[in-house]
């Protein structure tokens, strides 16, 4: 079975802290994504990576950075957390190649910044 | 840029009955993919059904089917014989090519979601 694992399901951080959200997939997928989900706004793409050490900005990259040192792991970094980054964060991965390949999601990480 | 619109923030249905969730999208592409994802309270996003735009036949997966109207850019989801386990947020999504990425990578553009309640 396909598996995308987000190690932290619930986090509470203070304003100004550096926050790492980790995501690991076991399917040898090239493409990985970080989305943010907010009520009434749906899912919005923060960053994606199409391969190791490759990254591209999504629709809302401000205040975030990412790291992809190994194919299976894609980290989202909040350099200095702010209260408006309180949200649900979803990681996803996809096999590159044939268009329309299914994108698989992790279970999400709830981040509260106080 | 592609956009996806779900005009129904909430819907409800009686168990065993049929419900239709609406979705419209905007694109200039001629070939693309559309998806419906389900997100139950556990938060795991699950693919429900996928439609390829070049296929005229509407996709069907057991109790789930779509009404794909390409000219109208409409992609509605019909759930037949609704079950309590169908209660969830449903997201319509459009596959958009990421032109800046090598190898033609893709992203999903999501609607804002429809919360479906199933009443016993």
Contacts of B25 (CB under 8 A, 6+ apart): B2, B3, B4, B5, B34, B73, B75, B92, B94
Nearest CB to A48; choose among B104, B107, B111: B107
Q: Which own/partner contact pairs does B107-111 have at CB distance under 8 Å and 24+ positions apart?
A: B107/A33, B107/A45, B107/A48, B107/A58, B108/A43, B108/A45, B108/A92, B108/A103, B108/B35, B109/A45, B109/B2, B109/B3, B109/B4, B110/A35, B110/A42, B110/A43, B110/A44, B110/B4, B110/B37, B111/A42, B111/B4, B111/B5, B111/B6, B111/B23
Q: What is the pLDDT of residue A87?
A: 97
**Chain B positions in Cβ-Cβ contact with residue A99 (cut-off 8 Å):** 33, 95, 97, 104, 106
Q: What is the mean pLDDT of residues A22-47?
A: 93
Does B55 touch chain A if contact means CB atoms closer than 8 Å? no
pLDDT at B104: 56
Please determine, for residue B70, whether its predicted confidence score (pLDDT) is greater than 80.
Answer: yes
DSSP class of residue B59 equals P
Position B11 pLDDT exceeds 90: yes
Grade residue B99 by pLDDT with cuts at 50, 70 and 90: low
Percentage of chain B with pLDDT > 70?
A: 92
Instruction: Check residue B38 and give its pLDDT.
Output: 96
Q: What's the confidence (pLDDT) of residue B108? A: 85
The size of chain B, in residues, is: 120
What's the rounded Cα separation, in Å, for the pair B99 and B28?
Answer: 14
Tell me how far apart the alpha carbons of residues A72 and A90 are, in angstroms, rounded to a whole number. Answer: 16
Task: Give the pLDDT confidence of A45-72 residue by residue, as tens digits.
Answer: 999 998 899 899 998 999 999 999 999 9
Task: Provide the pLDDT for residue A98.
Answer: 61
Is the pLDDT confidence value at B73 over 80? yes
A18-36 average pLDDT score: 94
Place of tokens 């304003």: A15
> Residue B106 and residue A30: Cβ atoms within 8 Å?
no
CA distance A109 to chain B (A): 9
pLDDT at residue B33 greater than cutoff 70 = yes
CB atoms B91 and A94 under 8 Å:
no
Contact B108 A54 (CB under 8 A): no
* Encoded tokens for A65: 């950075």
Strand partners, A33: A48, A92
**Closest by alpha carbon to A27, among A106, A107, A108?**
A106
- Residue B9 is classified by DSSP as S
The verdict on A61 touching B (C-beta cutoff 8 Å) is no
- Smallest Cβ distance to A50: which of B37, B43, B103? B103
């Amino acid at each position: 079975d396909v598996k995308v694992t987000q190690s932290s399901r619930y986090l509470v951080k203070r304003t100004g802290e550096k926050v790492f959200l980790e995501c690991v997939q076991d399917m040898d997928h090239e493409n990985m994504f970080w989305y943010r989900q907010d009520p009434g706004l749906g899912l919005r793409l923060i960053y994606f990576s199409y391969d190791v050490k490759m990254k591209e900005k999504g629709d809302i990259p401000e205040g975030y950075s990412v790291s992809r040192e190994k194919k299976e792991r894609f980290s989202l970094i909040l350099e200095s957390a702010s209260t408006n980054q309180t949200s649900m964060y979803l990681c996803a991965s996809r096999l590159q190649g044939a268009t329309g390949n299914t994108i698989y999601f992790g279970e999400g990480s709830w981040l509260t910044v106080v | 840029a592609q956009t996806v619109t779900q005009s129904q923030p909430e819907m409800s249905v009686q168990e065993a009955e049929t419900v239709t969730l609406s979705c419209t999208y905007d694109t200039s592409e001629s070939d693309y993919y559309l998806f419906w994802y389900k997100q139950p309270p556990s938060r795991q996003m699950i693919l429900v059904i996928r439609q390829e735009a070049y296929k005229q036949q509407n996709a069907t997966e057991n109790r789930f089917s779509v009404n794909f109207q390409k000219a109208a850019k409409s992609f509605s989801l019909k759930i037949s014989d609704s079950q309590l386990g169908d209660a969830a947020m449903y997201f319509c999504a459009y596959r958009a090519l990421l032109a800046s990425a090598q190898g033609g990578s893709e992203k999903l553009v999501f609607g804002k979601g429809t919360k479906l309640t199933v009443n016993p």
